Structure 1
Amino acid sequence: MRTAVLGGTGKTGRAVAAALERRGHEVVPLGRAAWADLPAALVGCEAAYLVAPNMHPDESGYARTAVSALRATGVPRVALHSVVAPYAPAMPHHLGKAAAEDVVRRSGLAWTVLQPGAYLQNLDLSRTVRIAYRADAPFGFADLADVAEAAAVVLTEPGHEGATYELASRRATVADLAAEAGVDVEVVSPARWAATDGAALDARVRDWLLAMFAYYDAHGLPAGTLPLRTLLGR
């Protein structure tokens, strides 16, 4: 099967492409340049994995463009990369993914939605972990390799059309992960993070991340592990 990975040059797209290739499938990784003529880039594809760039300002528009190209080219199958708790009004980038899910569900294509938790790979556990939310907040963390393998499963095996899967590899807190790695956790105020780590970011991205940190501090981002274990047969 020939599968397009839209957003295929980012870390998630590369991981999904590698998982598909391990299953013997031909992969067409499509980065931003391909969007100039997306239908042409999709010719010959039988399925697509759709992942938006991180903190994209208009994920529903991104999804609409992709869906339009898939339909124009006759690609019947799509899997969307979303997020755990997409309808969380306090987090603008999660709401963007909720809107993208709606676009895909109304596309007329055979669709699957994957909702990964926070990536384990987003934490550098080789040194003191610096965060702007409480260290004991509960999370359903997702390993990028597990998410990629799940994407390959739903795109290449039957029975996943019309399904939405929440994906977490393990339940833990940042404090748990740091203790296992033998490193410390430094919790800083959102204002200090904004003035240091976040100072060079675009103002919109910085504000969206601050909203995310506030949500994490209040609620964490918990997710169950059973769907991923079931998909991967573990």
Structure 2
Amino acid sequence: MRVAVLGGHGKTGRAVSAALSARKAEPMPLGRSDWADLPAAVAGCSAAYVIAPNMHHDEPAYVADALEALTAAGAGRVVYHSVASPYAPDMPHHLGKARAEDLVRRSGLAWTILQPGAYLQNLDLTKPVRVPYDVHATFGFADLDDVAEAAAVVLLEDGHDGATYELASRTATVAELAAEAGVTADRAEWTGEGLDEPARSWLGAMFAYYDRHGLPVGTYTLRALLRR
């Protein structure tokens, strides 16, 4: 089975491609250079995994272009890489993913949506950890390899059409993860220096949300998908 991986050159796309290869599927990683003629790029693929660039300024438009190309190419299935809690009004970039989810659901393709929590790999636990939000806030953390394996499952196995899955490998705080690794965890000052708008305001809003609510995600769904 040939599977297009849109956004295939980033860390998530590479992990998904590796998971597909491990299941004897043929991943086709696609990047920005392929968007000039995306229908031709995805031709011959029976399914696609769609990952938008991080903090994309208009994710719904990106996903709409992907869906149009997949429909034109005759791809039968799409899996969209969203985020946990996409409907949180206090996080504008999450709302962009919520609008993109709506496009996926109305695309006419067989679809599945994955909503992973924050990646464990975003934290370097080999040294003291400093993050711009409350280190005692609760998160559902997702291991990147677990998410990639779940993506391969829903792309290649039956029974997942029309499903939306929140994914987390474990529930913890940053402080707890750091303590387990034998390092300290502290709050870092964050100014957003060097970032352009809207990324600066989006990230500021996200960190403020984390302070108030964390980002809890249950772990049962991922364990079930991976049969653990």
Q: TM-score, normalised by structure 2?
A: 0.98
Runs of 4+ in structure 1 deviating by more than 2 angstroms, as ranges, are none
Q: How big is the shift at 1:199?
A: 1.3
1:145 aligns with 2:145: yes
Alignment partners' CA distance in 2, 1:24 and 1:202: 41
Q: How big is the shift at 1:203?
A: 3.2
Alignment partners' CA distance in 2, 1:193 and 1:163: 37
Query: What are the residue-to-residue correspondences of 1:1-234 with 2, within 5 Å?
Result: 1-188=1-188, 192-194=189-191, 198-234=192-228
Alignment partners' CA distance in 2, 1:125 and 1:210: 23
Q: How big is the shift at 1:108?
A: 0.3
Secondary structure in structure 2 of the residue aligned to 1:27? strand
Question: Alignment RMSD, CA only?
Answer: 0.7
Q: How big is the shift at 1:114?
A: 0.2
Task: Tell me whether 203-212 or 158-167 shows the greater mean CA deviation.
Answer: 203-212
Seq. identity, %: 69
Q: How big is the shift at 1:218?
A: 0.1
Task: Tell me whether 202-211 or 55-64 shows the greater mean CA deviation.
Answer: 202-211
Alignment partners' CA distance in 2, 1:200 and 1:179: 31
Secondary structure in structure 1 of the residue aligned to 2:130? strand
Alignment partners' CA distance in 2, 1:132 and 1:147: 25
Alignment partners' CA distance in 1, 2:158 and 2:87: 28
Structure 2 gaps, min length 5 = none
Residue-pair matches, total: 228
Secondary structure in structure 1 of the residue aligned to 2:224? helix
Q: What is the CA deviation profile of residues 73-121 of structure 1, one whole-angstrom value per residue up to 9, with x for unaligned ones?
A: 1101000000000001111110011011000000000000000000001
